[in-house]
């Protein structure tokens, strides 16, 4: 067996103390759970807006494919409204960009 001696650390030597307010101990102002619920809400809203936009596009495409029917007069306004809602929903996600 080899006998190794440990070095004795002198006080005031090369020791590094942990700062009183390290990144691990400091609580951030934006709690992660609170942010995740608002992010989840924003994602849910954007998913619903996209679903609505897709529904309007599907209805418009179906009416264009019908041989004897023309698209309804209100189709353009419904599509415009759905597009605005989707744009607003995606814009709300910008707040969560890192």
pLDDT at 2 over 80: no
Cα dihedral 28, 30, 34, 39 sign:
negative
Phi, psi for residue 59 in degrees, rounded to 5: -65, -40
Mean pLDDT of the chain: 78
pLDDT at 22 over 90: no
pLDDT at residue number 39: 85
pTM above 0.75, yes or no: no
Write b or e for each residue in 6-15: b if 16 or more Cβ atoms lie within 10 A of its Cβ, otherwise e.
eeeeeeeeee
pLDDT at 67 over 80: yes
pLDDT at residue number 55: 94
Mean pLDDT across 51-58: 93
Query: Could you report the per-residue pLDDT of 72-96, keeping only the tens digit for each?
Result: 889 999 999 999 999 999 888 888 8
- Which SS3 state, helix, strand or coil, does residue 70 take? coil
> How far is the C-alpha of 35 from the C-alpha of 48, rounded, in Å?
20
Cβ–Cβ < 8 Å for 13, 70? no
């Amino acid at each position: 067996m080899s006998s190794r001696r440990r070095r004795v650390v002198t006080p005031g030597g090369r020791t590094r103390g942990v700062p009183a307010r390290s990144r691990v101990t400091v609580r951030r102002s934006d709690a992660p759970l609170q942010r995740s619920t608002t992010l989840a809400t924003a994602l849910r809203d954007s998913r619903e807006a996209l679903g609505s936009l897709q529904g309007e596009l599907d209805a418009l495409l179906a009416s264009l494919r019908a041989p004897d029917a023309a698209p309804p007069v209100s189709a353009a306004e419904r599509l415009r409204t759905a597009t605005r809602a989707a744009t607003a929903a995606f814009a709300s996600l910008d707040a969560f960009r890192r």
